[in-house]
Structure 1
Amino acid sequence: MNLLELVLEPLGYGFMLNALATAVTAAAVCAVLSCWLVLIGWSLMGDAVSHAVLPGVVLAYMFSVPFAIGALLFGFLAVGLIGAVRDTSRIKEDAAIGIVFSTLFALGLVLISVTPSETDLGHIIFGNLLGVSRAELVQILILGALALGVLLLKARDFTLFAFDATHAHAIGLNPRLLGAALLGLLALTSVVALQAVGVILVVAMLIIPGATAHLLTDRFGRMLVIAPTVSVTCAVIGLYASYYLDTASGGMIVLVQGAVFALVYLFAPAQGLLGRRIAALVRRARAGDKPVSENSQN
């Protein structure tokens, strides 16, 4: 089997085309949002919201409504509860996040255990990328386009908020409103990625691409290009690998992202653990050769 056949064979199946479209959409949207989450330091918030949507999804199945509606409602509820606990008590934000997301996630697990359903709700926890229906794909594409459109439309404002909320306020922006908008987009994006990799792995897609891009460049504009490029590439490679190796699709996608991050962490020219040392050795070698040539000329 040649390379062209390896690429085209999976595309002969409708479920693989749906899975590919879902994976690419989720990877792109998550990666763009992850750039701001990494800069602001909201990794734990991403974890909280992605887990907190679980009871909403289960309740949506119980009442036969689209799972996105239940997931969005509980995503917004989690954000509101975290803010309420943080602002009305002496509990700090990290503790409030831990309390809210663990409680709501536990509620979701309890609801799964007592909900009679023909649908395997375990797929919500671990993802069901190969089982995405046409209707679910349309829903994911609409939500993904909405989230990505808002992120790109308000990119400048969100960037000012991420780097310097005080300066953003000084030029007339509302940092509280921008923060709330980002949290709302976080909930929306979590719903987009839910079908692809499940509740547990959503946080990886929300953090790894931005972290990888952050190690490769110091410019935020470039991060917004590098992160989705890396994320979408990893999604495609992971999906193909899962097809040929007969492994979990969502897990394989995240595993590929983690492997790429590890390579960048080690070998990135400016920020890589080994890359910095190699660059330093090259500079020393060049500096060591320079005096010799200069002395020989003298």
Structure 2
Amino acid sequence: MDTLLLPFQFAFMQNAFYISMIVSVPTALLSCFLVMKGWALMGDAVSHAVLPGIVLAYIIGIPLIIGAFIAGMTCALATGYLSTNSRVKQDTVMGVVFSGMFGVGIVLYVSVETAMHLDHILFGNMLGVEPHELWTAGMISAGVGLILALKWKDWLLHSFDPAQARASGLWVNWLHYGLLAALSLTIVATLSAAGLILAIGLLIAPGAIAFLVVRKFSTMLWVSVIVCMASMLLGTYASFFLDSAPAPTIILVMTALFIAAFIRRQIITRQASMQRVDDAVNS
């Protein structure tokens, strides 16, 4: 028992557990909308595009989260403008914009003398989370989570049928860019936990797993939160004994859960198909 409780005795592990619980709520809720809307690449684009904002914020001397948020919104707005005013499809535009901004970030980083570790930005540093980062992530997560919880029906309608949402009197543009702003803020909150590269896993996997498990969107929301929080806590706990980085371990746990959910859904679908065949034969 002493060995099992050993991770909870260290302050750095306690902070890792805290940040896991904090960021799991907004990432899980957002993942449901990204999965239903088909915006997986948008999450990837914004998560990579914040790098130049972080480097420029470091050069100027302003908080890194401000630069990251501005860069994320710039990517989202640029993607929306280019896809609306050109014949190029949105996924292609997103690929061009996020790779270009990520390249700018890398060039800026290597050209500036800095004590900032790129590995921590790209892959996260959960074991080095400081109290002020917990407070920052907590405030962002609380704000994003509250807004998503209050307006989830509006965003759901906008995700399925923007024309119907507009006919119903909803402010479609506000919903569109509000979701992008929530996405950018959430990625900023996850910088310490998962970094830029692995943040996309937290923004997609929980919603994808919940989508395979349930069929009602309201249920999908809280199931994704449970899946995300459990995966992050389990991955962080397991990384202590495996002597591995927490963020990749968390993603591996989520991948295993996705595979299990996919296999379960395939079995249920096959059983239902066989039952329909038997009913048809017997009738």
**Bin for the TM-score computed over the shorter chain:** over 0.9
Mapping for residues 62-77 of structure 1, pairs under 5 Å:
62-77=59-74
Identity between Structure 1 and Structure 2 (%): 39
1:92 correspondence with 2:89: yes
Larger radius of gyration: 1
- Choose which of 254, 276, 280 in structure 1 pairs with 2:269: 276
- Map of 2:240 onto structure 1: 243
- Map of 2:126 onto structure 1: 129
Question: How far is 1:85 from its partner?
Answer: 1.3
Provide the TM-score with structure 2 as the length reference: 0.94
Q: Distance in 1 between matches of 2:4 and 2:153?
A: 38
1:29 correspondence with 2:29: no
- Residues 175 and 12 of structure 1: is their aligned pair in 2 closer, same or farther, counting only changes over 3 Å? same
Unaligned runs of 5+ in 1: 292-298
- Choose which of 188, 206, 231 in structure 1 pairs with 2:228: 231
Mapping for residues 158-237 of structure 1, pairs under 5 Å:
158-237=155-234
Instruction: Look up the SS of the partner of 1:154 in the other structure.
Output: helix
Deviations 1:157-184 (A, max 9, x none): 1112112222211121022221111011
Question: How far is 1:284 from its partner?
Answer: 7.7
Provide the TM-score with structure 1 as the length reference: 0.89
Q: Distance in 1 between matches of 2:105 and 2:3?
A: 40
- Map of 2:100 onto structure 1: 103
1:118 correspondence with 2:81: no
Q: Distance in 2 between matches of 1:151 and 1:285?
A: 42
Q: Distance in 2 between matches of 1:237 and 1:275?
A: 27
Q: Distance in 2 between matches of 1:6 and 1:66?
A: 39
Question: How far is 1:69 from its partner?
Answer: 0.7
- Tell me the matched-pair count: 282
Deviations 1:201-233 (A, max 9, x none): 111110111011111111100001100100100
- Choose which of 46, 51, 64 in structure 1 pairs with 2:48: 51
Amino acid at match of 1:178: L
Instruction: Look up the SS of the partner of 1:182 in the other structure.
Output: helix
* Superposition misfits of 4+ residues, deviation over 4 angstroms: 278-281, 284-288
Q: Is the 8 A contact 1:238 1:256 kept in 2?
A: yes
Q: Is the 8 A contact 1:58 1:121 kept in 2?
A: no
Question: How far is 1:8 from its partner?
Answer: 2.7
1:151 correspondence with 2:148: yes
Q: Distance in 1 between matches of 2:60 and 2:12?
A: 26
RMSD over equivalenced CA pairs, Å: 1.9
Deviations 1:12-50 (A, max 9, x none): 111111111111221221011111111111111111111
Q: Distance in 1 between matches of 2:200 and 2:28?
A: 11
Question: How far is 1:285 from its partner?
Answer: 11
Question: How far is 1:239 from its partner?
Answer: 0.2
Question: How far is 1:276 from its partner?
Answer: 2.3
Amino acid at match of 1:77: T
Q: Which moved more, 1:6-15 or 1:245-254?
A: 6-15
Amino acid at match of 2:269: R
Amino acid at match of 1:195: S
Question: How far is 1:264 from its partner?
Answer: 0.2
Q: Distance in 2 between matches of 1:98 and 1:170?
A: 32
Unaligned runs of 5+ in 2: none
Q: Distance in 1 between matches of 2:146 and 2:58?
A: 28
Amino acid at match of 1:190: I
- Residues 62 and 276 of structure 1: is their aligned pair in 2 closer, same or farther, counting only changes over 3 Å? same
Q: Distance in 1 between matches of 2:86 and 2:272?
A: 49
Q: Distance in 1 between matches of 2:113 and 2:5?
A: 39
- Map of 2:263 onto structure 1: 266
- Residues 158 and 285 of structure 1: is their aligned pair in 2 closer, same or farther, counting only changes over 3 Å? closer
Question: How far is 1:287 from its partner?
Answer: 6.2
